[in-house]
Amino acid sequence: MKPDQQKTVTGARATVILYTIAAIISLAGLADAAYLTILALTGETAACGGSTGCFEVLGSIYARIAGIPVAAFGVLGYFAAFLFATFIACGYNRLRRFFTLTVGTMFAMTLWLLYVQAFRLHAYCRYCLFSAALTFLLAGLVVASPAPRD
């Protein structure tokens, strides 16, 4: 195998691994966001282990945008990230831009929601912090992914 071919194979393998990891992270985020969405739509309270922060954050005016639970937007974002990551891992490299845009939007929203928790509500939700950590991981994978070869 020529050195150029070896680099291509190694790059393709790295892409498959990184985007498979991204798909798994996205599934974890999807489960978290779906749980919070269901709670918001049914009026149930989250199992926060006695932490009052969850109740304050999830019951605040910031928990909905135009009457839609913020977690529902998380469901859409994580589902889109999962689909894009899965397709990219299968070789559809043209979707990288969409994956990057989706994760970038999720990252910006996460920064805003962390600001709200820290400086407006002075309370933290465990589920929200878990989602933030997953979004930060996805953003790290976007930065770490090798450049596409079209």
Q: Does pTM surpass 0.85?
A: yes
Q: What's the pLDDT score for residue 14? A: 87
d(CA 134, CA 149) in angstroms, rounded, equals 27
CATH class of 9-144: mainly alpha
d(CA 76, CA 64) in angstroms, rounded, equals 15
Dump pLDDT digits (tens) for 1-24.
555 555 555 668 888 999 999 999
* DSSP secondary structure string for all residues of 75-130: HHHHHHHHHHHHHHHTT-GGGHHHHHHHHHHHHHHHHHHHHIIIIII----HHHHH
Q: What's the pLDDT score for residue 45? A: 82
Tell me the domain boundaries of the chain.
Answer: 9-144
Provide mean pLDDT across the span 53-64. 92
Dump pLDDT digits (tens) for 62-110.
999 999 999 999 999 999 999 999 999 999 999 999 999 999 999 999 9
- Per-residue HEC secondary structure of 43-56 comes to CCCCCCCCCHHHHH
